[in-house]
Amino acid sequence: MKSKELKAENPPVDRLSALRFHHIIYLCNGGILSFHFKIIYESSESLARLGEIQTPHGCVNTPVFMPVGTQGTVKSLTPEELHEIGVEIILANTYHLYLRPGHEIVAKLSGLHRFMNWDGPILTDSGGFQIFSLARLRTVSMSGVTFQSHIDGSTHVLTPEKVIEIQEALGSDIMMCLDECLPYPTERGRAHKSLSITLDWARRSKKARGGDGSALFAIVQGGMFKDLRARGIDELRKIGFEGFALGGLSVGEPRELMLEIASFTVPQLPREYPRYVMGVGTPEDLIELVSFGADMFDCVIPTRNARNGQLFTRTGTVNIRNASYVSDSEPIEPGCRCYTCRNYSRAYLRHLFMARELLAYRLSTIHNLYYFTNFMNDIREAIRAERFLEFRKEFYSIRNTL
């Protein structure tokens, strides 16, 4: 594969170039809002690539890891702290914000960006995975999903059209089509039927969208069956979207199978659009998925694990609750430039966790998100320098938890 850098300055305005850069312009309330994706650089030694996503709320450099702000907050951190860490885009969730406080409330208060005081891009998940994993009772049909809230047991119906309505009310920069997420294992007949439902919902989602400037990504399902995944890609490509996501992974399958399905599916996603692998997020997973050509990732691992005392470093993970850190004056990771490592010791963090002080969760989350953000920065630099495979080899050589 020959590497090449794509120049973005003064692109021609003919139809072919517009399609190549996938530049979509919308008029909204007399102003111009835009979304487009362009490939900046493609590696000659792997399928890894650099890209740039432009949204109405700013640009995102890819490959990128998106911290999860499910309910309009990245747990324990302020938006100002996220900016200081270097976060460019966050993820929020349609299902949760629909149930509480309600999308009408958020819209009335000028949208999710203003509501949570975050001025960067926001991607909203459709809620399909949350319905699969959290809803007490659910019934799936071609028309949509009927489910009982995990909060109070109340009954709700979400259709593809309703999910688009909710996300437009939230003011998402990137919306996701409603999809059906299946558990592992799922037999082939069930996966085939589910794929048909997801494809029908994708068509209806596209038809339902308005002209508010939000991009709409489709989600490829199909269980662990490669031919179903390929069919899903082909059908979704015909419908046409601003990005394509790979869903239905990390649902209980062995890691080897997850990587096998991803290595088959990701390179088949349309090259000229962002490729998003949903809900997968250990550092080991990220570096492998980047090598397959993936651009976007999200996962609760850095934030959830931080609250449980597991901290990420270049050499592996640290369980800060261990007694060995009771008088350790070193930072979590020597040389790390995050706020936590610049100011606090392992001994102090362990003390906070053992005392169940809230500050433990904040300081640990700052460090883990800094690690993930900086890790993606290093990956991008390695791709640019044509040393991604060398970087990958070095990454594994120093890990103590593989």
User: Which residues are identified as catalytic?
Assistant: 125, 298
Between 283-291 and 359-384, two packed helices, what is the crossing angle to 10 degrees? 20
3-state secondary structure of 39: strand
Which tokens go with 210?
């308005």
CA atoms within 13 A on the CB side of 239: 26
SS3 of the chain: helix, strand, coil, percent, to 5: 40, 20, 35
Query: What backbone phi and psi angles, to 5 degrees, belong to 246?
Result: -105, 110
Which tokens go with 15?
């139809």
State the amino acid at position 161 in one-letter form: E
Exposure string over 176-200, b if 16+ CB within 10 A, otherwise e:
bbbbbbbeeebeeeebbebbbbbbe
CA distance 52 to 40: 7
Question: Among 326, 273, 315, which Cα is nearest to 21's?
Answer: 273
E strand spans, 63-188: 64-66, 90-93, 122-125, 138-141, 144-148, 155-158, 174-176
Q: Which helix (H) or strand (E) holds 41?
A: strand 31-42
Exposure string over 129-154, b if 16+ CB within 10 A, otherwise e:
bbbbebbeeeebeeebbbbbbeeeee
CA distance 391 to 368: 20
3-state secondary structure of 241: coil
